[in-house]
Structure 1
Amino acid sequence: MKREPSLPDELPSSRGGLLSQPRAVWAVAFACIISFMGLGLVDPILPAIADQLHASKSQVSLLFTSYNAVTGIAMLITGVVSSRIGVKWTLLSGILLIIVFSFLGGTSDTVGALVGYRGGWGLGNALFIATALSAIVGLSTSGTAKAIILYEAALGLGIAVGPLLGGELGSISWRGPFYGVAVLMAIAFISILFMLPKMAKPKTRSTLSDPFKALGYPSLKTLAITAFLYNFGFFTLMAYSPYVMKLDEHGLGYVFFGWGLMLAITSVFVAPKLQRRFGSVPSMSVMLTLFALDLLVMAVGTVMGSSVTVIVAVIVAGIFLGINNTLITTAVMEAAPVERSVASAAYSFVRFMGGALAPWLAGKLSEWFLPETPFYFGALMVLIGVAVLLMRRRHLRDIDASITAH
């Protein structure tokens, strides 16, 4: 697929090795690690927050809902902002918001205030992650596919370390992880400020309608709908599984560290090989099907009262999600003839809406029905996502050729 040229996509690529990157790429990647730590940081402390703030599981799950909902909606303005103030200052603005709202989260005395501050954190997250992916791809000297692998590796590492840090700091106080992120993001702010060069603004300013126009392309729409559906499984795992594993903050931190580690390793070393050998759509379909089956194992483990079964299934899920995340993100970057930042914003808007609904719904399903019901529902939604992907695969037939070309 041909793409209209845009900055920073016009920067030359020498197709070097994955680790042969400019300092600016490593600065953004480091900031990505810290930013993505925020996603899993609260996992080990969810039960503690529920207990100490006297809140139900569905109320505490709103920490994910507000974060993802604001992130998704704010994705629609990321292109407008970055095309006017530039990539560097958009990244810095996002990081600054994360610092402020993560610190404020640590001062909360009610679950309502904490949910609100997580929403502000989501705004900063949106400005940062949509622009970070575009910046890494644009500044990388190793081509689009390897740049995305680097981005996904940062994502996986951040998701892995986040729960570990959350568990350690959370064992002292549930407020600790929030203060910890504020400090780490301050370090990331300084590294971006001094190491990222000034990048030229796009010649054409983005508008609010650009992401919606991008979703008019069948290929991008297919990937966005698939991600929306499988995020019900993803965030059921993230937001609900801590309640059925019966572990303390340390234990939950180690489990999600193992999950994130599997995600990081497979996203870097396994996903590219599967894409080259079998193609993007077949590989995504198989990984998502395996993830759905894994969620069913979590449901069975919950019925049996076997924490070990759920723990092992959570860690194993990182394998399937790591592979799928890299495959689908790479495909999104080649799915429509629009600027990569616009494609990323459009896709993320739809994807994060699934991430906003899933945590709250998982908590409610467990309250309305049985403890294992959220896992059954998550598995069903993931399988519907696979069905959508396969039924609309004709729209993605040129994706692999486009990935190879770039």
Structure 2
Amino acid sequence: MTCANTWNGWRRTPSSPDAPPAARGAATTGPRDSRLNATHAPGARKAALAFIFVTVLIDVIAFGVIIPVLPHLVEQMVGGDLSTAAYWTGVFAFAFSIVQFFCTPIQGALSDRFGRRPVILLSCFGLAADFVFMALAPTLAWLFVGRLLSAATSASFSTANAYIADVVPAEQRAKSFGMIGAAFGLGFIVGPLIGGVLGDINHRLPFWFAAGLALLNFLYGLFVLPESLPRERRTARFDWKHARPMGGVRMLLEHPRIWALVAVVFIANFAHYVYPSTFVLFADAAFGWKEKQAGYVLAAVGVCSVIVNVALVGRLVKALGERRAMLLGLACGTAGFVLYGLAGAGWVFLIGLPISALWAVAGPATMALITRQVPANEQGRIQGSLGSLVSLAGIVAPALFASSFGFFIGPRTPVHLPGVAFLIAALLLATAAFVAWRFADRAQRAPGTDQDATAAGSP
């Protein structure tokens, strides 16, 4: 994967005479590719975004369905010990992130070379097959293999971000990324609710349901989802240089204007791993919540997230600007996690839900700031590189959170503190907020090098 445009203290736009042909093509919308015109026409752009919204929504529902039951299925397979289940849940998340670390930049490079649509379709079909595999897994080892397969095929989220960068003008991206956040929120309303109810019947039933959803998503994309990246805006060849995970990280280093924002993405996503690593087992240990109750709470988290993403992200970004909206979101996430960690009763935990939900403002604002600094023909690789970096966080974070949780509920702990993982996550978000406050203002003031290419395709 080649890095077409780089910054060395000066601006290089896709329409510059020394820019490579693939980048110069991004600034034109000739008749050679009708799909470029189609996805940038106002009505067609809305339709394309609706398609990608539904694609992400169905994918999130499929993932959300298994969240309330996977830790308890692991607990069942290890003999019912909660501390041992926490350890293996952390191992699962650790391995999941390692596979993603290697696979995500490859998927990003493939989407820049061959388009977003085939990568999304491959991801959906792979997930359907994987959920069937996990539904049939007879032992913990086979379930573990299933999670690795899931990690290798989960590319639709990072590719969806690149899809948005393809078709939405830079100044409107925060709102569009917010809609993807709303898809996540809505998916986590429906998914855990269904998973909790089905898991109450049988621990494996949610996996079959998730497999059906992923297959439905594949068929939906096959017949409905349009391509967003025309041929003249694709990279000339697939290059393993940036498809390698550390190559993707090096690509991020080639864009110094986004270093602070990349650090915020890394730290914030590190903190976010507290949810899949510990929440279900934490809810059981702290409040006695089983699959159904945990599903209800996760659904409430989804409701709050949808409200924030649909009703508040666009307004707050418009009123405060992207940088201040990012800071507000990180501050609210910090406060919410502190409440979670110190909650001695379930109702105290629930008070923190609407506060921590405002953290959702930070993600779209941060992503909008990053995409302003990246050329149009590098969006897929940047998103893949960010995904790889997030996976790198996921290699360490689950082990940290799960082991901390397991120790502070175990027999050797000096103090019983089930919420310790959330307190660690709060400290991390506070660190991300400081980095954003201290360094990210430079990224917002820098000229956006991909705006010209996007605007050229916009009427």
Which residue in the other structure is 1:114 paired with? 143
Candidates 150, 155, 163, aligned match of 1:135:
163
Map 1:297-308 to 2 at 5 A. Answer: 297-301=339-343, 304=344, 306-308=345-347
**Residues 320-371 of structure 1: per-residue CA shift (max 9 Å, x gap):** 2321222222222223235221221122221232234322321101223442
CA contact (8 A) 1:8 1:135 kept: no
Cα distance in 1 between the residues matched to 2:174 and 2:332: 24
Question: Per the alignment, do residues 34 and 173 of structure 1 end up closer, same or farther by CA in structure 2, a change over 3 Å counting?
Answer: same
**TM-score with structure 2 setting the length:** 0.78
Question: Quick one: which amino acid aligns to residue 319 of structure 1?
Answer: A
| 1:391 has 2:438 as partner | yes
Quote how far apart the aligned CAs of 1:173 are: 1.6
Structure 1: how far apart are the matches of 2:111 and 2:375? 19
Aligned mates of 2:114, 2:201 — CA distance in 1: 40
Partner of 1:324: 362
Structure 1 length as normaliser, TM-score?
A: 0.87
Q: Deviations over 1:249-276 (max 9, x none)?
A: 1111111111012112212221122212
1:42-75: CA deviation from partner (whole Å, max 9, x where unpaired): 3312452243112421212333333333223312
Are residues 290 and 117 of structure 1, via their aligned partners in 2, closer, same or farther at CA, if it must alter by over 3 Å? same
Question: Residue in 2 aligned with 1:188?
Answer: 217
CA distance in 1, matches of 2:104, 2:215: 23
Task: Confirm whether residue 72 of structure 1 aligns to residue 101 of structure 2.
Answer: yes
- 1:170-185 to structure 2, matched below 5 A, reads 170-185=199-214
Segment drifting more, 68-77 vs 284-293? 68-77
With over 3 angstroms needed to count, the CA separation of the structure-2 counterparts of 1:181 and 1:399, relative to structure 1, is farther
In structure 1, distance between residues paired with 2:132 and 2:308: 33
For the structure 1 residues 399 and 104, does the alpha-carbon distance in structure 2 shift closer, same or farther, using more than 3 Å as the test? farther
Task: For residue 273 of structure 2, give the secondary structure of its aligned residue in structure 1.
Answer: helix
Is residue 51 of structure 1 aligned with residue 75 of structure 2? yes
Residue identity opposite 2:147 in structure 1? R
Residue 374 of structure 1 and its aligned partner are, at CA, apart by 1.2
CA contact (8 A) 1:6 1:203 kept: no
- Given that 1:218 and 1:395 are in contact with CA atoms closer than 8 Å, whether structure 2 keeps it comes out as no
C-alpha separation between the residues in 2 aligned to 1:144 and 1:68?
Answer: 27
The 1:165–1:67 alpha-carbon spacing in structure 2 relative to 1, beyond 3 Å, is: farther
| Counterpart pick for 1:291 among 330, 333, 336 | 333
Residue pair 2:334, 2:356 contacting (<8 A) in 1 also: no
Q: Which amino acid aligns with 2:399?
A: W
Confirm whether residue 103 of structure 1 aligns to residue 128 of structure 2: no
Note if contact 2:270-2:394 (Cα within 8 Å) is conserved in structure 1: yes
Residue of structure 2 equivalent to 1:252: 294
Is residue 346 of structure 1 aligned with residue 385 of structure 2? yes
- 1:310 is paired with a residue whose SS is helix
**CA RMSD between the two structures:** 3.0
Shift of 1:203: 4.6
Distance (whole Å) between structure 1 residues aligned to residue 87 and residue 162 of structure 2: 35
Please say if residues 214 and 336 of structure 1, whose CA atoms lie closer than 8 Å, have aligned partners that are also in contact.
Answer: no
Percent identical pairs in the alignment equals 20
Matched to 2:440, the amino acid is: R
Query: Structure 1 pair 197/293, CA: closer, same or farther in 2 (3 Å)?
Result: closer
Aligned residue pairs: how many?
399
Unaligned 5+ segments in structure 2 are: 1-10, 15-22, 30-35, 79-83, 243-247, 409-416
CA distance in 1, matches of 2:294, 2:323: 33
- Contact 1:231–1:358 (CA under 8 A) maintained in structure 2: no
Q: 8 Å contact 1:43–1:252 — kept in the other structure?
A: no
| Contact preservation (8 Å) 1:79, 1:345 | yes
Q: Deviations over 1:7-66 (max 9, x none)?
A: 88963576748x9722x4433322211222344333312452243112421212333333
Residue aligned with 1:44, SS:
coil
Alpha-carbon distance change, 105 to 215 in structure 1, aligned in 2, over 3 angstroms: farther
**1:403 shift after superposition:** 10
Structure 1: 5+ residue stretches without partners: none
Separation in structure 1 between the aligned mates of residue 354 and residue 92 of structure 2, nearest angstrom: 25
Give the match for residue 56 of structure 2: 32
Q: Using the alignment, how far apart are the partners of 1:6 and 1:130 within structure 2?
A: 24
Residue 120 of structure 2 is aligned to residue 91 of structure 1: yes
Larger mean CA deviation between 132-141 and 97-106 belongs to 132-141
Distance in 2, Cα, partners of 1:162 & 1:403: 36
Q: Give the direction of change, closer, same or farther, for the CA distance of 1:224–1:317 in structure 2 (3 Å limit).
A: farther
Q: How much has 1:300 moved relative to structure 2?
A: 1.2
Larger Rg: 2
